[in-house]
Structure 1
Amino acid sequence: MSSKTPKGRIQSTLRQFLDSEASGGIILMVVAALAIVTANSPLAETYFHVLHIYLGPLSIQHWINDALMAVFFLLVGLEIKREMLDGQLSSWSRRILPGVAAAGGMIFPALFYVYFNGADPAAIRGWAIPTATDIAFALGVLSLFGSRVPASLKIFLAALAIIDDLGAVIVIALFYTDELNLLALAAAAIVIGNLIIFNRSGVRQLWPYLALGAVLWVLVFASGIHATLAGVILALTIPLKATPAAPEASHEESPLHKLEHALQKPVAFMIVPIFGFANAGVSFAGVSLSVLVEPLTLGVASGLVFGKLVGVLGTTAVLVKLRLADLPAHASWGQMVGVAFLCGIGFTMSLFIALLAFDDPAMQDSAKIGILIGSVVAGIIGSLFLTVFGRRGGAKSVSAV
């Protein structure tokens, strides 16, 4: 990053990002608990009925999952682009530790899931469910430890979760797209081409991008690809520079930064909680304890708890052992174990993938129970490690993020 960029402003922007994600995570915890209580209360019938009321061509739940979540993915795409070009992931030396850890944190949870469900052709579609990390939830838990956790560890977790989100977007595009409408796909490609032309020709007003983005969402929805990916595609075309020839110092005033700043609070405090409330509600009526030992539930839960631990901590240990990277500055191995467990809080993205993977409500409920159990257990164990090791001085090493 250029030395011309005011350091104080960079730190302020990063702090706002971490704070908004952390606060949003705490709200999400409350909303998730409220959804579960509602789904098992006298209001349960009303709760599920309202979600299935149709407004135009889609039900309320589909409007939330396909339209509102497209805005969530727009923010994810903006964060990915900013961090890759102008932030904590702007060089390979900064990308290697969170990047490899994120890859390990996706591969090993999938392997745990496949171990339990490899023989079931229906259940195997859910292999990607435990690969996700919920950045809002994880940072929300981490924020509770305040200064007992070094800032470098929070940045590491944020960077890892952002790369994890990118992996989830790729997985959704490649593995959860069934039938394609080639005509709609061709029309979407034309819209994307126009967005790129806007970027290359120096258009810096946001409204032309957002207007075409709405058209892109309709076409992607019609194409058979999940409509939320339109948000990511739109984000990648939003300019990072304020003007075509602007210096890096003006990035704070760029269309990308303006849109990202405008979306952070609505997404953290409205869209994600609405999604959580609409999708976390699992009715336990008629559910026996046997669901806890079903392969699908075990695969999701074990993937989130143990798969994430092995993947994130294992790859980190290998990189450090080979001297290809260092631990985040002032972080101890005990704290790294805690953060590796926190990566097992999959919630938002895991729920989203579960809905894409299964049409059967019973399988969706089993996956949701696995997500809830795995996320809660991972969060509790991670918190215990951070409580124990947070009071001790961490190993001082050069930050790799």
Structure 2
Amino acid sequence: MSIPRHFANQLARSFTKLMGGEASAGILLIIVAMLALIVANTGWAYGYHELFHHELAWTPISKLDSLHLWINDALMAVFFFVVGLEIKREILDGELSNAAKRRLPVLAAAAGMVMPALIYLMTTGTKPPLAHGWAIPAATDIAFAVGVLALLGKRVPASLRLFLLTVAIVDDLGAVMIIAVFYTKIDAGTLYWGIGALLFLAGLILANRRGVHHLWVFLILGFGLWYCILNSGIHATIAGVIFAFTIPLRPLYHGDSMLLRLEHALVPWNSYVIVPLFGFANAGVALGGIGLAGLSDPIPLGVALGLFLGKQIGIFAAIVISDRIGFAPRPAGASWVQLWGTSVLCGIGFTMSLFIGALAFPRYPHLVEEAKLGVLLGSLLSSLLGYAILRMAKTPQAEQPD
């Protein structure tokens, strides 16, 4: 029996085909970042700021009274929902479901988060408020990094792409945990909203356990979960991940699963609408207020060095040590130079780093702007060097064995 083609899935597949695959998602983010910088540093800067930050004349949700908040708290909840779906699928039925296969990516991702944070703190010091940004360079942008990798085509073995994807997924899980633990403030006055969120979560878990296959049931309960968390003091995007973990992966009566159907339908919209819109709304840093001399300030320098140096040092060192001591072998068919280049690409932190930067300095807008500058610089350097290394690296067939 063939699986029926649902309209949303058909539209998503057509959108992906139209946009040209993985490379186009990374290219689109580059274009969006450049446009945001241009607009923020020209005569359009005032209009750009007003568009995203001016209070809306009317909003159905009082907490979201600007377009910027709708993007960061509502659309990005969808982004985190898709990330959560990918993480759940990988843990239950992917590369992270096998203990032997997940050893190296998990260790590499952990080292690739710790080292950037340490470099950031060594650059900025440990005193607040600067120290609050320690997690900004700890994240890897999947779409950007995989997009650059896709531009290289067959020069890069499939094992490296799989390794990069797995590291980035573990990285995203770590970033979500960091946001939940370190960048969430719960107000005692919003306790009732927290109780409401728990009730909606219980409903989602019950629907999963009872085998409910009606998507609308999950969507209604998921919206209730998001709305309660939005008002509880916990960052609303966490609701996206929690909601995703309750979506069933088991096959439905017609062969596919609710999780796979949702993931296939939403990934293109995530890559080509939500993330670019978030990037355009958040990457526009006014360089005139900082200047080139500002690149040497603690936050831009710490973020840029954390992404550019910390990521590659942490991840590549984890690969080398794991391989040498027999803890986990390096990806098959990949040379050490290619592994170094891939480690450098993990220093592209665009989406998640910009998001954490906004959370790290809520009362210091100028520090958020400095963090943006560091993210853009570190991501640019990582993408250029990573691409150059992988472009010039010998193919596995041409390389002599160790």
* Alignment deviations for residues 149-169 of structure 1 (CA, whole Å, 9 cap, x no partner): 001100100010000000000
Distance in 1 (alpha carbons) for counterparts of 2:94 and 2:133 = 33
Question: Which amino acid letter does the alignment assign opposite residue 145 of structure 2?
Answer: A
In the alignment, structure 1 residue 373 sits paired with structure 2 residue 377? yes
The answer to whether the 8 A contact 2:333-2:396 is kept is no
Equivalent residue for 1:267?
Answer: 270
* Alignment deviations for residues 181-225 of structure 1 (CA, whole Å, 9 cap, x no partner): 221111101110110000000012211111111111110011101
SS of the residue corresponding to residue 170 of structure 2 reads helix
Displacement after TM superposition at 1:242 (Å):
2.1
Displacement after TM superposition at 1:392 (Å):
5.5
Question: Which amino acid letter does the alignment assign opposite residue 32 of structure 1?
Answer: A
Structural RMSD (CA): 1.9
Matches within 5 A, 1:104-119: 104-119=111-126
Equivalent residue for 1:7?
Answer: none
Structure 2 unaligned residues grouped into runs of 5+: 1-12
Equivalent residue for 1:324?
Answer: 327
* Alignment deviations for residues 266-311 of structure 1 (CA, whole Å, 9 cap, x no partner): 1111000000000001111232332111111111011001110111
Displacement after TM superposition at 1:118 (Å):
2.2
Equivalent residue for 1:33?
Answer: 34
Distance in 2 (alpha carbons) for counterparts of 1:207 and 1:163 = 29
In the alignment, structure 1 residue 92 sits paired with structure 2 residue 99? yes
Equivalent residue for 2:109?
Answer: 102
Moved more, 383-392 or 189-198: 383-392
The answer to whether the 8 A contact 2:338-2:390 is kept is yes
Moved more, 167-176 or 33-42: 33-42
Equivalent residue for 1:333?
Answer: 336
Equivalent residue for 2:195?
Answer: 186
In the alignment, structure 1 residue 138 sits paired with structure 2 residue 141? no
In the alignment, structure 1 residue 67 sits paired with structure 2 residue 71? no
The answer to whether the 8 A contact 2:81-2:244 is kept is yes
Question: Which amino acid letter does the alignment assign opposite residue 350 of structure 2?
Answer: F
Distance in 2 (alpha carbons) for counterparts of 1:73 and 1:394 = 41
The answer to whether the 8 A contact 1:330-1:394 is kept is no
Matches within 5 A, 1:205-354: 205-243=214-252, 250=255, 253-354=256-357
Q: State the percentage of identical aligned residues.
A: 49
Displacement after TM superposition at 1:26 (Å):
1.7
Q: 1:382 aligns with which of 350, 373, 386?
A: 386
SS of the residue corresponding to residue 89 of structure 1 reads helix
Displacement after TM superposition at 1:100 (Å):
0.5
Distance in 2 (alpha carbons) for counterparts of 1:350 and 1:341 = 16
SS of the residue corresponding to residue 211 of structure 1 reads helix
The answer to whether the 8 A contact 2:307-2:378 is kept is yes
The answer to whether the 8 A contact 1:330-1:396 is kept is no
Question: Which amino acid letter does the alignment assign opposite residue 55 of structure 2?
Answer: Y
Question: Which amino acid letter does the alignment assign opposite residue 128 of structure 1?
Answer: A
Question: Which amino acid letter does the alignment assign opposite residue 349 of structure 2?
Answer: G
Moved more, 339-348 or 117-126: 117-126
* Alignment deviations for residues 302-340 of structure 1 (CA, whole Å, 9 cap, x no partner): 100111011100111110001121121210000011011
User: How does the TM-score come out when normalised to structure 1?
Assistant: 0.90
Cα distance 1:187–1:231, how it changes in 2: closer, same or farther (>3 A)? same
The answer to whether the 8 A contact 2:308-2:344 is kept is yes
Distance in 1 (alpha carbons) for counterparts of 2:340 and 2:395 = 15
Distance in 1 (alpha carbons) for counterparts of 2:213 and 2:257 = 8
Distance in 2 (alpha carbons) for counterparts of 1:393 and 1:33 = 37
Aligned residues between the structures: 376
Displaced runs of 4 or more, over 6 A:
394-397
User: How does the TM-score come out when normalised to structure 2?
Assistant: 0.90
* Alignment deviations for residues 100-150 of structure 1 (CA, whole Å, 9 cap, x no partner): 100000000000011012243111000000000000000011111000000
